[in-house]
Amino acid sequence: MTDQRAEGRKGTGGTVAAAVTEVFAPQYVAIAMPPVVGLLADGWAGLAWGLLAAALCAGVPTAVIALGVRRGRLDSIHVVERRSRKGPMLAGFVAVVAGLAVLVLLDAPDMVVATAAVMLGWVVVMGLITLAWKISFHAGVSAGTVVVLAQVLPALPVLLAGAVVVAVIGWARVRVSHHTPAQVLVGAVTGAAVSAATLAITT
């Protein structure tokens, strides 16, 4: 696998793929989503609530992963090795549940609460899948985020543009040999489906 990854990163395509993988890491996308959605849905007040949601629901798991990488317990912020994902997934679950509870108790705006609920859905569904099979969180979180953004922006252009972005992210994950095409495809479909189902319930 190490040789495959090295091969996947060779050349301009490999460099671009590695950059896409870093920029669209699930943690970063999850941190950015709530404030952006909050701002679009409820203005500056929504942005503030979104920042709180991002800190509670995504910031804490990101810090746990970063600490794991620093201590040598995790291979990278992408947690490439499936067997290493249990700890970060548990931390994510606890953080999102706690964050969602805080947002509900403080009467946060509906769309901000919905973003937290979506993240909980991702952790539960994709987390359970990854225990048995290595699903792509990059593809799942990015596709799920597109569905959420389509709730607060004109849906058709967001979905069309988002599909292109998700396809590029999927290509990058395969190019750097972190996932197979099937893992990327299932990840994207699962993330989008979880977001759509959660939004249907919460909004």
* Residue 51 within a domain: yes
User: What's the confidence (pLDDT) of residue 4?
Assistant: 41
Does the pLDDT at position 65 exceed 70?
yes
* Residue 189 within a domain: yes
* Residue 5 within a domain: no
The answer to whether 159 touches 150, Cβ cutoff 8 Å, is yes
Question: Which residues, 6+ apart, have CB-to-CB distance to 44 below 8 Å?
Answer: none
* Residue 49 within a domain: yes
In the block, residue with structure tokens 């994207």: 188
Using CA atoms, how far residue 84 sits from 80, 88, 162, in Å, is: 8, 8, 29
* Residue 167 within a domain: yes
User: What's the confidence (pLDDT) of residue 12?
Assistant: 64
Residue with the larger pLDDT of the pair 131 and 46: 46
User: What's the confidence (pLDDT) of residue 109?
Assistant: 97
Give the tens place of pLDDT for each residue, 19-36: 999 999 999 999 999 999
* Residue 178 within a domain: yes
Residue 46's domain comprises 12-202
* Residue 6 within a domain: no
- Tally the domains of the chain: 1
Give the tens place of pLDDT for each residue, 93-150: 999 999 999 999 999 999 999 999 999 999 999 999 988 899 999 999 999 999 999 9
Judge if pTM exceeds 0.75: yes
Using CA atoms, how far residue 53 sits from 6, 23, 60, 117, 157, in Å, is: 37, 21, 11, 10, 26
* Residue 4 within a domain: no
Return the closest-CA partner of residue 198 out of 102, 96, 63, 60.
96
Q: How far apart are CA 138 and CA 172, in angstroms?
A: 10
